[in-house]
Amino acid sequence: MKNILVTGGCGFIGSNFVRLALGELKESRIVNIDRLTYAGNLENLADLKDNPRYRFVRGDICDAEFVNRIFAEERIDTVVHFAAESHVDRSIEGPAEFIRTNILGTFTLLEAARKAWLAPMRVTSREPRKNRFLHVSTDEVYGSLGETGYFTEETPYDPRSPYSASKASSDHLVSAYFHTYDLPVVKTNCSNNYGPYHFPEKLIPLIINNALTGKELPVYGDGKNVRDWLYVEDHCRAILTVLQKGSLGETYNVGGNNEKQNIEIVQTVCDLLDEKVGLLPDGKPRRDLIRFVKDRPGHDRRYAIDATKIREELGWTPAVTFEEGIRKTVDWYLVHPDWIASVLDGSYQDYYEKMYGGRLKHD
């Protein structure tokens, strides 16, 4: 792992991963390619700008010429692929970009890796493999659970939103490249993450921001949908573990063993903020801001991960409990009001111009 290509490293999980990986893998360089969509924020990695083992290049993973050039120029031997459109509600409003980035983008990267690593001579599976393509995916590909049961690596795929369908499709492409071309791939399917740098359109950071500023807290449907929450640093450590020890062609489910109903999450955030910054100016508790609103179409009822395989085979377990993780997260947002404001009004995108001298044009 000398030259690692990280895609989508300016997003929530990617930025946490790049920082962790540079600290842990002292012999590795990281090249981060990111298109800097609304979800990608260069400031998330501002502290690494002068690190000689880190390079950022703005670009689109669907652009084959660009991706091939990076593979050649940087002699990429390892890929950790995060780049995606990631928000379910946006995928319902406008699925096209999800199909493009999540499916076509993954295909473009797989093709680049195939050309760079397997051509001109096909490597046979007996030879030691120095390359690795880790595809970061989601538990949402498995569909929705009832009251009981867990997703295992054998659970049949049953995606139900345009987002999860696009991720499922990319997962199938990754598996196909392993079976057809022997491309050295590994795949992780993780549950809902939370923590620093989470874009405030997703449940936890949205609720923190709204509750801080006294806005209403929208809870979809009856609020009893269940997600399995994992602190982002634990997910990043799981990815590092799979990168270093995972078996080629295998999938590893990653989860926090931490199921919560949405309403519990919202109430916990309200109570923590009341405790940390005091009640609302009118003396009321933040729970009063909760509003049950129209449900998300096709809203998956429950996700829960069985993470036995990654625990038993690779020795990974989450280190941060939900109680610790949610406190750390709330604290991070409390001391980063400028970050929240700049990602919400889009002004963080001026940073690209300042730091890299180019204009950040959005199509």
Question: Which residues are catalytic, by number?
Answer: 139-140, 163
How near is the Cβ of 256 to ligand NAD at its closest, in Å? 11
Q: Which of 302, 283, 147, 286 is nearest to 221 (CA)?
A: 302
Point out the residue whose Cβ comes nearest to ligand NAD.
11
Dihedral (CA of 37, 67, 99, 20) sign = negative
Region at 212 (left for phi over 0; alpha for psi -120 to 50; beta for the rest): alpha
Write the CA distances from 273 to 21, 225, 266, 322, integer angstroms: 32, 23, 11, 16
Long-range contacts of 86-91 (CB under 8 A, 24+ apart): 86/11, 86/12, 86/39, 86/163, 87/39, 87/163, 87/199, 87/201, 87/202, 88/140, 88/161, 88/163, 88/164, 88/296, 89/201, 89/296, 90/163, 90/201, 91/161, 91/162, 91/163, 91/166
Binding residues for ligand TYD restricted to 78-97, rule: CB under 6 A? 88
**Site residues for ligand TYD, window 250-279 (CB under 6 A)?**
262
32 near ligand TYD, rule: CB under 6 A? no
Residue 259 binds ligand NAD, judged by CB under 6 A:
no
Contact 290, 265 (CB under 8 A): no
Answer with the entry of ligand TYD, ligand NAD, none that 171 interacts with (C-beta below 5 to 8 A by kind). none
Binding to ligand NAD by residue 349, rule CB under 6 A? no
Q: Is residue 348 near ligand NAD by the rule CB under 6 A?
A: no
- Of 43-51, 200-208, 235-243, 274-282, the window that binds ligand TYD (rule: CB under 6 A) is 200-208
Strand partners, 185: 133
Under rule CB under 6 A, residue 13 binds ligand NAD: yes
Minimal distance, residue 103 CB to ligand NAD, in Å: 11
Residue 167 makes contact with ligand NAD by CB under 6 A: yes
53 binds, among ligand TYD, ligand NAD, none (CB under 5 to 8 A by kind): none
* Whether 363 contacts 238, CB under 8 Å: no
The only residue of 108, 193, 210, 267 in contact with ligand NAD, by rule CB under 6 A: 193
| 136 touches ligand NAD by CB under 6 A | yes
Please say which residue, 151 or 178, places its beta carbon nearer to ligand NAD: 151
Query: Residue 320 is encoded by which pair of tokens?
Result: 């941060």
Burial code of 86-116, b = ≥16 C-beta within 10 A, e = fewer?
bbbebbbeebeebbebbbbbbbbbbbbbbeb
Longest dimension (CA), the chain: 71
Give how far Cα 127 sits from Cα of 118, 145, 198, 213, 218, Å. 12, 41, 41, 58, 54
Count of residues touching ligand NAD (by CB under 6 A): 31
Interacting span for ligand TYD (CB under 6 A) from 19-27, 212-220, 250-258, 312-320: 212-220
Q: Which does 8 bind (CB under 5 to 8 A by kind): ligand NAD, ligand TYD, none?
A: ligand NAD
Pick the closer one to ligand NAD by CB: 25 or 103. 103
Cα–Cα dist 15/9, whole Å:
5
Among 227, 235, 260, 286, binds ligand TYD (CB under 6 A): 227
In the region spanning residues 215 to 244, those forming contacts with ligand NAD, defined by CB under 6 A, are none
Given ligand TYD, ligand NAD, none, residue 241, with its beta carbon under 5 to 8 Å by kind, binds none
Where along the sequence are the contacts to ligand NAD (CB under 6 A)? 7-8, 10-14, 34-37, 39-40, 60-62, 82-86, 101, 105, 136-138, 167, 190, 192-193, 199
Chain residues that interact with ligand TYD, rule: CB under 6 A: 88, 192, 202-203, 206, 218-220, 225, 227, 262, 296
